[in-house]
């Protein structure tokens, strides 16, 4: 086995780290991925699997459209099928205020390249006959769908191995130190050397950044999902509610998956530890309000996942400020869909190529305050 330093060490094997490592290896670098669990067992493997470009912020629409295409054709791009299904999507507003806000946001996203159309309640009901009568306005997008996020680890593992990446899973990194030639990666299985390092720690990104003295102020949410028993067809689109509290879709096996703003409990040391019954009840109530056929449906499962986000909701993708050859990627809301595209772009940057879509420079801090970066403002 070579004792030469790796060209790049990626720490965190979720969708962001795996997609970055894949691009680097396909670009000719010798790459290692460190993942303390299995690949994509945190957010990237427990998310709701929505592939919905229209729920991404305008600055991420081009990236989301590309991510959508990659997952929909994952066999071609990654070698294995993620079991993606293309469907139509609707986001629903139930009050005049919600409708005004929805229209403003959706026009911005349409201008950014997402094929969104604003439609009235009658047309929404033609598209989704199961809707309740209270809809005031809807945003419609023909490009929507879902995939089986639980397959992410399997898909990326075989792609990474085929590309020659050393996958060190069940290996927790404890610290990263600057050395003359690059970085020393200290893990619970020993120390490895790499010329470059990529931090891709999801909700744990702030802890990783501190290894390099970078005080990234990243937060996290503990998202809670619920799943019903198998039902006859009750919904044929991917649905969202404009206040962000609900996404809802029915899988081919008949189960309906619901999530959104409903939170569980936990922390960075223990992960998601507590299903919150009020969140389950609120989620179900809202689901029934949107699709009345869900009244009487039994819930069979609920689980939690940790999602990172910045106070300004901007993604963090680029060089770590002040640390040469160190890079960071994460804090992307709804990042499963976009991850394969974002990893490619960061990989291009590290390979010395010009990324063909913008990245999102990590913020710099003065006296603990973030200062504006990259033109998107704070």
What does the binding site for ligand FAD look like in residue numbers (CB under 6 A)?
11-17, 34-37, 41-44, 46-50, 172-173, 200-204, 223, 225, 259, 305-307, 330, 332, 334-337, 339
Pick the closer one to ligand FAD by CB: 105 or 149.
Answer: 149
Pick the closer one to ligand FAD by CB: 172 or 372.
Answer: 172
The nearest distance, CB 1 to ligand FAD, in angstroms, is 21
Beta pairing partners, 258: 226, 248
Pick the closer one to ligand FAD by CB: 16 or 137.
Answer: 16
The nearest distance, CB 126 to ligand FAD, in angstroms, is 25
The nearest distance, CB 52 to ligand FAD, in angstroms, is 7
Pick the closer one to ligand FAD by CB: 12 or 62.
Answer: 12
When CB distances to ligand FAD are compared, the closest residue is 14
Pick the closer one to ligand FAD by CB: 334 or 362.
Answer: 334
Cβ-contact 93, 242 below 8 angstroms: yes
Pick the closer one to ligand FAD by CB: 137 or 208.
Answer: 208
Helix locations, the chain, DSSP H: 15-26, 43-46, 61-72, 74-78, 96-111, 121-127, 152-162, 205-211, 277-290, 335-350
CA dist 86 → 106, 232, 251 (Å): 20, 19, 12
Pick the closer one to ligand FAD by CB: 114 or 173.
Answer: 173
Nearest partner of 143 among 74, 69, 63, judged by Cα = 69
Contacts of 95 (CB under 8 A, 6+ apart): 136
Torsion, Cα 100 103 109 110, to 10 degrees, reads -160
The nearest distance, CB 300 to ligand FAD, in angstroms, is 17
DSSP 316-365: EEEEPTT-TTEEEEE--TTHHHHHHHHHHHHHHHHTT---SS--BPPPEE
For the chain, the straight-line distance linking the first and the last C-alpha, in angstroms and rounded, comes to: 46
Pick the closer one to ligand FAD by CB: 124 or 152.
Answer: 152
Pick the closer one to ligand FAD by CB: 42 or 128.
Answer: 42
The nearest distance, CB 184 to ligand FAD, in angstroms, is 14
The nearest distance, CB 120 to ligand FAD, in angstroms, is 27
The nearest distance, CB 342 to ligand FAD, in angstroms, is 9
Cβ-contact 134, 94 below 8 angstroms: yes
The nearest distance, CB 100 to ligand FAD, in angstroms, is 26
Give the tokens for residue 89: 């999507």
- 376: enclosing H helix or E strand: none
Pick the closer one to ligand FAD by CB: 15 or 24.
Answer: 15
Contacts of 292 (CB under 8 A, 6+ apart): 130, 132
Nearest partner of 52 among 116, 118, 138, judged by Cα = 116
The nearest distance, CB 204 to ligand FAD, in angstroms, is 4
CA dist., res. 72 & res. 176, Å (int): 36
Query: 3-state DSSP: the chain helix, strand, coil percent, rounded to 5?
Result: 30, 30, 40
Give the tokens for residue 274: 């507590």
């Amino acid at each position: 086995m070579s004792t030469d330093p790796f060209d790049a060490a990626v720490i965190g094997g979720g969708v962001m780290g795996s997609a970055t490592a894949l691009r680097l290896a396909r670009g000719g670098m010798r790459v290692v991925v460190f993942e303390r669990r299995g690949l994509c067992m945190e957010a990237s493997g427990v998310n709701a699997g929505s592939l919905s470009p229209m729920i991404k912020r305008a600055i991420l629409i081009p990236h989301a459209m590309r991510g959508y295409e990659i997952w929909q054709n994952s066999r071609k791009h990654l070698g294995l099928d993620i079991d993606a299904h293309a469907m139509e999507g609707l986001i629903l507003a139930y009050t005049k205020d919600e409708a005004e806000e929805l229209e403003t946001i959706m026009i911005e996203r349409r201008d950014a390249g997402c094929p969104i159309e604003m439609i009235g309640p009658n047309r929404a009901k033609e598209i989704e006959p199961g809707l309740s009568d209270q809809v005031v306005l809807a945003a419609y997008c023909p490009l929507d769908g879902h995939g089986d996020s639980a397959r992410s680890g399997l898909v990326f593992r075989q792609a990474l191995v085929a590309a020659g990446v050393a996958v060190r899973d069940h290996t927790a990194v404890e610290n990263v130190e600057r050395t003359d030639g690059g970085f020393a990666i200290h893990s619970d299985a020993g120390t490895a050397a790499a010329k470059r390092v990529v931090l891709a720690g999801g909700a744990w990104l702030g802890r990783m950044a501190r290894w390099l003295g970078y005080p990234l102020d990243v937060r996290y949410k503990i998202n809670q999902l619920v799943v019903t028993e198998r039902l006859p067809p009750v919904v044929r689109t991917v649905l969202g509610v404009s206040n962000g509290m609900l996404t809802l879709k029915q899988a081919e096996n008949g189960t309906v998956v619901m999530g959104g703003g409903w939170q569980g409990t936990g922390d960075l040391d223990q992960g998601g530890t507590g299903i919150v019954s009020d969140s389950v009840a609120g989620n179900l109530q809202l689901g029934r309000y949107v699709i009345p056929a869900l009244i009487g449906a039994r819930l069979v499962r609920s689980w939690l996942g940790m999602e990172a986000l910045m106070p300004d909701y901007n993604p963090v993708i680029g060089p770590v400020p002040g640390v040469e050859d160190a890079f960071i990627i994460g804090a992307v809301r709804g990042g499963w869909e976009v991850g394969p595209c974002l990893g490619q772009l960061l990989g291009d940057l590290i390979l010395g190529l010009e990324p063909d879509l913008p990245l999102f420079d990590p913020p710099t801090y003065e006296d603990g305050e973030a200062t504006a970066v990259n033109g998107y403002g704070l």
